[in-house]
């Protein structure tokens, strides 16, 4: 029987390997290929976190209400409050997830040694499916909440 966690981690590592190899190919092995891959994949993770929180909120799981109300009570500016909330719920988790699953203790070296390059296909599929998932939820939510 296949362990689902190991299977998901294998897909995750294959995605990162594809991102690393394609960035190295694009940048010509300059020193910023890791950073470029980090920002591309983490941005896709960010959209997935936003979509996941949106789905949970739509389904009635309002687990963030206490924190949001607290931020609004201590920061008088609405714009600054929204920036703090967006950073703490979406940006920080997405980038922390990417860092700790790939770059912590230089795990990317293991990924590069053990996974092959798929010519950017896996990365492209992931980014396109993330965008479609995000916009699909927005459109579906629009039609479901329309009165």
Q: How far is CA 66 from CA 11, 63, 119, in A?
A: 35, 7, 45
Total structural domains within the chain: 1
- For 66, list phi and psi in degrees, rounded to 5: -60, -45
- Helices 4-27, 121-145: crossing angle, 10 deg rounding: 120
CA atoms of 94 and 108, how far apart (whole Å): 17
Q: What is the pLDDT, as a whole number, of residue 54?
A: 85
Question: Which alpha helices (DSSP H) does the chain contain, by range?
Answer: 4-27, 33-58, 65-74, 78-86, 92-98, 107-114, 121-145
pLDDT tens, residue by residue, 46-66? 999 889 888 888 888 877 778
Which residues constitute the domain of residue 67? 4-145
Q: What is the pTM of this model?
A: 0.81
Per-residue pLDDT, 115: 92
The separation between CA 7 and the C-alpha centre of its own chain, rounded to angstroms, equals 18
Give the pLDDT confidence of 100-137 residue by residue, as tens digits: 999 999 999 999 999 988 888 999 999 999 999 999 99
């Amino acid at each position: 029987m296949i362990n689902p966690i190991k299977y998901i981690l294998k897909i995750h590592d294959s995605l990162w390997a594809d991102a690393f190899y394609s960035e190295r190919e694009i940048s010509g092995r300059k020193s910023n290929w890791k950073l470029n891959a980090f920002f591309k994949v983490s941005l896709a993770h960010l959209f997935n976190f936003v979509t996941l929180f949106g789905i949970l909120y739509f389904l009635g799981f309002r687990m963030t209400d206490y924190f949001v109300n607290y931020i609004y009570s201590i920061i008088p500016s609405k714009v600054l409050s929204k920036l703090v909330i967006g950073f703490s719920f979406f940006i920080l988790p997405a980038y922390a997830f990417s860092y700790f699953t790939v770059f912590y203790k230089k795990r990317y070296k293991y990924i590069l040694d053990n996974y092959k390059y798929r010519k950017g296909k896996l990365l492209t599929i992931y980014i396109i499916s993330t965008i479609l998932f995000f916009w699909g939820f927005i459109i579906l939510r629009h039609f479901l909440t329309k009165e």
